[in-house]
Amino acid sequence: MSRVNIQTQLAPAASQPLLAQIQQAFGATPNMFKAVANSPAALQSMWAAFGALGKGALGAKLGEQIAVAIANRNRCEYCLAAHTALGLKAGASSAEMSAAQAGRSSDPGTAAALTFVLNVVERRAQIADADVARLREAGFGDEQIVEIMAHVALNLFTNYINVALDVPVDFPRIALL
């Protein structure tokens, strides 16, 4: 049971227009957004970040692969389920999403990005020059490296919301590794 309200009708008035946008985008309002809607500022921040990164240089598929790797590492069942579904919608195969959950990929660029993000999460951003150099060797430039870090930050935000507030999973469940 969630530790905060997840009923949209009880959300503050300032959250209602964003909830309407989310409803339109997904065809439903996922529980995570209902929980975050308790704070209009937090909801605006989260929704804006999803929108901006969705138009970013990395592409939706890699963004979702990053999300499942981080969700698995943080034991966030909600984000693992949601981002697996979104990854499939973005063109990833089930095998690609399962591999990403474990931090792996047969694509060298994706593998480098997943290794990097898991190092960032594990080391709390205390990474070495060599970690960034491996991203560059895989073809990532400054724009993509900064965007990868933005994905890490957004996914930590969503993982922590869902785990700490015990948000009920409303996507098809995926087993944690």
pLDDT tens column, 131-161:
999 999 999 999 999 999 999 999 999 999 9
Interatomic CA distance for residues 10 and 3, integer angstroms: 15
What is the mean predicted confidence (pLDDT) over 113-138?
A: 98
Q: Enter the CATH code of domain 60-164.
A: 1.20.1290.10
**H, E, C per residue of 80-104:** HHHHHHHHHHCCCCHHHHHHHHCCC
pLDDT attached to residue 92: 98
Interatomic CA distance for residues 158 and 78, integer angstroms: 9
What is the mean predicted confidence (pLDDT) over 12-21?
A: 97
What is the mean predicted confidence (pLDDT) over 2-16?
A: 95
pLDDT attached to residue 157: 98
What is the mean predicted confidence (pLDDT) over 3-19?
A: 96
List, in sequence order, the alpha helices (H) in the chain.
16-26, 31-36, 40-54, 60-73, 77-89, 94-101, 108-122, 129-137, 142-164
Domain ranges of the chain: 8-54, 60-164
pLDDT for 72 beyond 90: yes
pLDDT bin (cut points 50, 70, 90) of residue 1 is confident
